A and B are shown apart, each in its own frame.
Chain A
């Protein structure tokens, strides 16, 4: 374990505790005394599925390129986080099998590492995919800089969040293509540390609030009988 591992672990703990603190505040919902007309569960299900599709949301179908870029960008972010955690846990994560990778000798390896060809192709896949998602992040950033309305709406945090996440994805992609380089993984770990320390401070905390917002939205429309999975008009 290097200093970069420990820094990342500390940042993760900080981020996790902060997120947990917010999450706990969201558990107790305000009591609603009105009699229901529809089903909260049905509304929440709709809110988290069909209601998010381009067929239902103007923010999606009227802005399809941005919507698609946003979806890819978010998939890239979560993928990068998962890859980072796996690299933190498995010292030889997705490195081609070298024959001396045994548990108990201070190293560990990932199950896929026994197949050289597969690992190389998998790394290449992730590298390309994350490069694409990073480009989506850059595109969103450019839009924020150049679109008059969006610029007026944005604050420093909006730019920083976008930059940090995009860089994080870029470093994830680089690690995938250059696993043996001495600087790539430490750089990724430093970027991950920055990201996880920054996450609780700014808008990136929507990782927690997004889920709560979708729940609230579905509960509101579900209880009032506006949104329903059974409604054929939906």
Chain B
């Protein structure tokens, strides 16, 4: 058993060694331990412990790098505060890299140097993944996605049944017996993807987007095999798993002749598919990708749908999902949509790329062992929402919706959480 662990540690060190490119070398050598990043991290702000400072998280991985890859670290390990990859270090890595970081990246732009902290955290997670030390809860989510095609292991029949029911709902909603939610339809322009939470818990968000597509006369389809936009393999540092999940969606689009994949309202899924996926596949996609938010904004600009902003008069605010906004560049589109659909809109402060994470990112929602921490850091978001006085919080990410619903209950905010598609559908 001990020998097995030693082998696994060596595997992790070999992994680190093989991934030392310019980007990682830079990130591992740049932190100067100024400690100013703490005030940009919600874990440190909420929990006030040194171990939650972004620099401390970076140092866990950088310390291992220094120990095994620098002259000073090899000869004078104490001088530069190196870390042996021993059980104590590993325990700390699991606890803070998985359990105390949403990889939101808020610390990065505010870092005095500009260290890509989430990138280092992800590298640490990759090393843990190499050692088979990913928390079981999130690993089971990844396994479900890889084994069944979606992270909630929804059976094909259950998915079809749900969509069939939603189809009836759509026909009633738009008063057209020919309205459909297309399944496995070839020759369409776009393949739509969803977060499995939608068919499982929030089917009305699929109804909402279907209504929008119907009114915009979009040529689209859902696939019953691979529709899951989420990619938790990205969060656990399983690059091969992440590649498989990405490739499936690309192949599915090709199979149905779609030239575009619509990235459903999921922050990390959109980021993984749009920005990371091509690098896992080591090639440019043969199809285009567009986020649902960008597409809906385009519909409104082009006049393909005409929302009536007088239908929504409650004060509305936007929560910016980190992976879509700060890490994905979709910043103004959701504001354009909400302003077109709602008569009263107020910004959260801070907002856009400076926004705080809801607390559910980085796979936190899938790691029940850290629920208590997740709810504590959620207070920052709760305070932000409360300060706006809004009655409706709109966010283009189903993971954020889940976390916002949780903090809505925990901190008694009394708000309604909606996705972008839902707010658009409400205004049509």
Contact = CB atoms under 8 A, between A and B. Distances in A.
Interface in B315-355: 325-329, 331, 352-353
Given A28-B22, A224-B327, A202 B55 contact: no
A66 B115 CA distance: 18
A33 B27 contact: no
Contacts of B284: 33, 35
A57 B26 contact: no
B279 A32 contact: yes
The majority secondary structure among interface residues of chain A is helix
Residue among B55, B81, B276, B331 with the highest chain A CB neighbour number at 10 A: B81
Nearest to A233: B352
Contacts of B182: none
B219 to A, nearest CB: 22
B112 interface: yes
A49 interface: no
B109 interface: yes
Nearest to A202: B80
Contact of A157 (B21, B80, B109, B275): B80
Given A33-B283, A62-B39, A203-B32, A212 B26 contact: yes
B312 interface: no
B79 A202 contact: yes
A157 B80 CA distance: 5
A11 B394 CA distance: 59
Contacts of B36: 58-59, 62-63, 66-67
A196 B39 CA distance: 33
A27 interface: yes
A26 interface: yes
A200 B115 CA distance: 19
Interface string B95-110: 0000000000000111
Interface residues of B, number: 56
B278 interface: yes
Contacts of B70: 201
A30 B353 contact: no
A38 B329 CA distance: 8
B348 to A, nearest CB: 15
A222 to B, nearest CB: 10
B282 interface: yes
B297 to A, nearest CB: 14
A216 B42 CA distance: 24
Interface string A16-31: 0000001001111111
Q: Which interface residue of B36, B111, B328, B331 has the most chain A CB atoms within 10 A?
A: B36
B26 A149 contact: no
A205 B35 CA distance: 18
B34 A66 contact: yes
B22 A202 contact: no
A154 B55 CA distance: 10
A234 B352 CA distance: 11
A107 interface: no
Interface in A176-234: 200-203, 205-206, 209-210, 212-214, 216-217, 220-221, 224-226, 233
A203 B40 contact: no
B25 A152 contact: no
Given A29-B23, A202-B79, A206-B32, A148 B40 contact: no
Nearest to B282: A33
Interface in A43-80: 47, 51, 56-60, 62-63, 66-67, 70
Interface in B48-83: 50, 53, 55-56, 59, 70-72, 78-81
Contact of A216 (B26, B33, B59): B26
Contacts of B53: 149, 153
B33 A26 contact: no
B281 interface: yes
A155 to B, nearest CB: 3
A214 B116 CA distance: 10
A150 interface: yes
B33 A59 contact: no
A150 B33 CA distance: 7
B72 A202 contact: yes
A3 interface: no
A58 B39 contact: yes
A156 interface: yes
A27 B78 CA distance: 30
A30 B23 contact: yes
B81 A155 contact: yes
Contacts of B113: 206, 209-210, 213-214
6 shortest interchain CB distances as A-B pairs: A155-B81, A33-B278, A225-B329, A59-B36, A217-B114, A58-B110
Given A153-B55, A213-B26, 13 more contacts: A30-B279, A33-B281, A34-B274, A34-B275, A57-B109, A59-B112, A150-B35, A152-B56, A157-B79, A201-B70, A202-B72, A206-B32, A213-B30
